[in-house]
């Protein structure tokens, strides 16, 4: 019944992803996970995240994520990126006079202006008077459905890689 209301995510091949309880029992290969992390035709995680200085700084650095989250937590973070968003990566929707609506997270907020970093990692500065309104969003910059670019094996390889990232 739950699957009718909340269907399981699909993999890149269009197959239903097994439930998280089953996935947690599976293992992956961290070296293949590294290829998944940086592959443009897979999750493309490196477009927004870094591991040990490699990748981009749009989203959180994942160099120590394995010390913070277990396998189930890593799976949930990948499958439902908006479920838990760190306060420094809270997404805001700015209504601006010069550029319309701009979405991203605030990297600088002063009496003179606000700077937002968008999903492409571009920092955009606005004078205070150019921003008549700002609204917080409950949606992460990390898109939902990234698992749709991977196989279940790719996902578990990625989880294995991330689980090994410890200080």
- Over the stretch 111-150, which tens digit does the pLDDT of each residue have? 999 999 999 999 999 999 999 999 999 999 998 888 899 9
C-alpha dihedral, 121 to 113 to 82 to 79, nearest 10°: 0
48 Cβ contact list (under 8 Å, min separation 6): 55, 56, 58, 59, 119, 121, 141, 142
- pTM of the entire structure? 0.85
**pLDDT tens per residue, range 1-50:** 444 555 667 667 777 788 889 999 999 999 999 999 999 988 899 999 99
């Amino acid at each position: 019944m739950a699957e009718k209301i909340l269907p399981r995510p699909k993999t890149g091949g269009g197959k239903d992803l097994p439930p998280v309880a089953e996935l947690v029992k599976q293992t992956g290969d961290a070296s293949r996970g590294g290829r998944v992390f940086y592959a443009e035709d897979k999750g493309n995680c490196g477009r927004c995240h870094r591991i040990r200085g490699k990748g981009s700084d749009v989203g959180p650095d994942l160099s120590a994520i394995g010390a913070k989250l277990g396998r189930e937590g890593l799976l949930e973070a990948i499958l439902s990126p908006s479920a838990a968003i760190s306060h420094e990566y809270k997404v805001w929707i700015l209504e601006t006079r010069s550029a319309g609506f701009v979405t991203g997270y605030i990297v600088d907020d002063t009496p003179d202006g606000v700077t937002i970093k968008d999903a492409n990692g571009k920092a955009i500065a606005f004078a205070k008077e150019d921003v008549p309104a700002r609204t917080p969003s409950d949606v992460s910059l990390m898109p939902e459905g990234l698992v749709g670019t991977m196989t279940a094996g790719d996902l578990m390889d990625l989880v294995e890689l991330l689980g090994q990232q410890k200080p």
